Each structure stands twice: as structure tokens, then as C-alpha cells.
Structure 1
């Protein structure tokens, strides 16, 4: 854990806040010219279930961002924006950590779409980090869905919540912390945040609809 006078939540976007796989399923059906029902909604990392050919994923991803506004048009995952807003109101510093700059020559488009999407859905944040190795970005707790990222964060002794979707449901070994929805994720973050404040003899915030835990709980 880093030393700071703020409690930092590191939040991934794709698969955690934004429904990346649902939008990519729609785009891939368009790309292939097939009915979306032919593409499984239960996918693993890299989307082999859709019969992606060597090098095709990068081409589809480029098409999705440049021609279908991928990072602007994704639907928010249920409860994500609301939970982040509540935690931010209570004093948690929101640090967005996403790896969206992995295909060359359209970084400006990817960044612009990302910022506009965050503003459009009223997702508050103080920091916006585009990083492949997320363990290099400090936070007190992270929320992540990519299996390799979860494992690397745990290996670096970081506290990370695995946000459940089909790409990480069968992780072996299982993650230390898991949330199946944003209500569960919010509760875990709030519990860690309150404990952090108690360790520093800081008053506990009163969140609407959330009573602070009993001292020592």
C-alpha cells in the first residue's frame, strides 16, 4: 500500500464499468455480417469463442474504435457510475486505470472517447491513467476483471477485487477478493476505506443509506 493522506480506488473500465464484451459482440456481428445470436455471450479473453482468426482481433478493435465509437458507445455496467459517485462523495479518490492504447495511431481518438464517456455518464475521477502494467499505478485497492492483471496485482501484494464476468469466472487459483456486482464491490471498498480511516483516527463519513460500522468491527 502506498503512503498517502487519501484512500485511492484504482478502477478498470472495460468489463468493470463499461460493458465491453456486449459492445464488441455487436461490433463483431457487424464485422462478420452474422446474426448477433450466433456469437456466444459467454466469452474468454481474446474472444476465441467467436472464431477470431490470427491478427483479426486487432483489426476488429481498430474498426470498433474508429468506425463504431467503441469507447464512447458502450453501456455502463449496472450500478458502476452510482457506486463510484457515492464512494467519491465519501472521500475516496477515484483513479481510473485502463489499458486502451495498445493499437498504434489512434491514441487521440481512444483518449477523447474515454474522457467523453466518463463525463457523459457522470463517473467522477481525479486521475486517468492509461497503463498496461497496472501494478505500477499506486492505489489502496483496485477493481479489475482481466485474469492476468488480477494475478499480477496480487503477486505485487496489491489488494484487488476481481469483478466477475465470463473471462475470469473460473480463475485458478481463485482471487482473494471477488465481487459479482457493483453493490458487492462498493461494500468491499467502503469496508476497507472505513478501516483505513479508523487506523488514522479520522472521522467516518456518513454515506446516504449506509451506516458506518461499529468501532472495532
Structure 2
């Protein structure tokens, strides 16, 4: 019988990849305004930057096709290292991202995503491009978009809200919140260890290392 694995569902934009930093750079170019004129405190859809009705999709298309958005973003501090440690301990990393909403550019979005993950040495077993993330199974998720956090919670999924300006003032607040990857990593590890205990499986000898019995 195949041994059950603990699955960590990981969002990319705003959680692992610094989406809003890159979009600020792109939008500055798009509008011809200095980056300093664009606030860092944004909400979903970037209305604080004066985005016109139906303009966001055009800016996003420009970012992906002309500025290689998905392969050029900086990683959020600590994300790659935390995911590598958890993966080395035996956590199954399942990337769940919604990047296929621009028609006819799916190949571009997928190839940029894979290139970015490989370039930053972020391990994963599964790569899922999904809008409805609650349809993808995981033991715990990490997400920054408020609507997705709510949807996962409503589906009785355990989800860590990764703090940024788009979700900082959620009301009611999320059940779980991490302000950085150190906090997120520890939350996942605690639940992973509880999972191992419940299945009579050995714990890693130290964070970032698989148990010697499984080597």
C-alpha cells in the first residue's frame, strides 16, 4: 500500500513570488509614471494606481508577454529556503496557482512559471494551474488572495493567510496568518509532525532532513 503523504498547497504570486513589486515596475512603464508615485499599499486589482475599468487585464497581458512577469519576479524572502526544508523533510509540495486567465498565452505562462521555479530551486511534486483552489487536495494551504482564503476556509480547508496589503485588514480575520516565511514554515511543520504522529511515522531528525529510516 502506498504510504500517505502530507501535502502542502502553495500559492505563488504574493506568497512565493513578489508579484506586487514587479507589477509596480511594469505599471510604472505602462503609465509612464515614476515608481515612487505608485503606493506599495495596494488591494486586489490595483485600483490605488488609477487602473481604469477593464485595464488590469491589458496591463497583465503586457506584463506576461512583454516583460516576462512570471519568470522575472523576485522571490519573497525566505520562501525558497522554507519550501526546500519542508520538502527535504518529506512534505509533498503541491504548487497551486491561477495564471491561465489570459487567453492564448497559456504556453507562455506555464513555461515562465517552470523556469522561475527551477531558477530559484523551489522543489515541487505537482504543479496545478487552477482558479478554484479548493478543488485541489492538500492538508494545508498558503494563500494571499482574500477570496481564495475565504473559499478554502468555507470548504473546511486549513489555510495560512500570507500577509500583504491585499489581505491585512480582512474582517473577520483569517483563522491562520503568517507574516513571513519563518512563521509559515513553523505552522506547516507543526501540522506535519502531528500528521506523522497520527500515522505512526518517524519524524525528521532535524528540520530540513528526512528520517534516517527512510533514506
TM above 0.5, yes or no, is yes
Q: Tell me the CA shift for residue 103 of structure 1.
A: 1.1
The yes-or-no answer on 1:205 pairing with 2:204 is yes
CA distances 1:132-173 after superposition (whole Å, capped 9, x unpaired) = 000000000000000000000000000000000000000011
C-alpha separation in 1, matches of 2:55 and 2:90:
43
Contact 1:86 1:207 in 2 (8 A): no
The yes-or-no answer on 1:97 pairing with 2:96 is yes
The yes-or-no answer on 1:109 pairing with 2:108 is yes
Q: Partner of 1:151 in structure 2? A: 150
Do the aligned partners of residues 196 and 120 (structure 1) sit closer, same or farther apart at CA in structure 2, a change above 3 Å counting?
Answer: same
Contact 2:143 2:162 in 1 (8 A): yes
Q: Partner of 1:215 in structure 2? A: none
Q: Partner of 2:56 in structure 1? A: 57
**Number of residue pairs the alignment of both structures matches:** 208
Q: Partner of 1:213 in structure 2? A: none
Q: Partner of 1:6 in structure 2? A: 5
Q: Partner of 1:87 in structure 2? A: 86
The yes-or-no answer on 1:131 pairing with 2:127 is no
The yes-or-no answer on 1:177 pairing with 2:176 is yes
Q: Partner of 1:162 in structure 2? A: 161
Do the aligned partners of residues 32 and 153 (structure 1) sit closer, same or farther apart at CA in structure 2, a change above 3 Å counting?
Answer: same
C-alpha separation in 2, matches of 1:202 and 1:110:
38
Q: CA RMSD in A?
A: 1.3
CA distances 1:22-60 after superposition (whole Å, capped 9, x unpaired) = 000000000000100000000000100001001110000
Q: State the TM-score, normalized to the length of structure 1.
A: 0.94
CA distances 1:109-148 after superposition (whole Å, capped 9, x unpaired) = 0000000000000000000000000000000000000000
Q: Partner of 1:29 in structure 2? A: 28
- In structure 1, list runs of 5 or more residues that go unmatched: 211-217
- In structure 2, list runs of 5 or more residues that go unmatched: 210-215
Contact 2:26 2:63 in 1 (8 A): yes
C-alpha separation in 2, matches of 1:61 and 1:114:
15
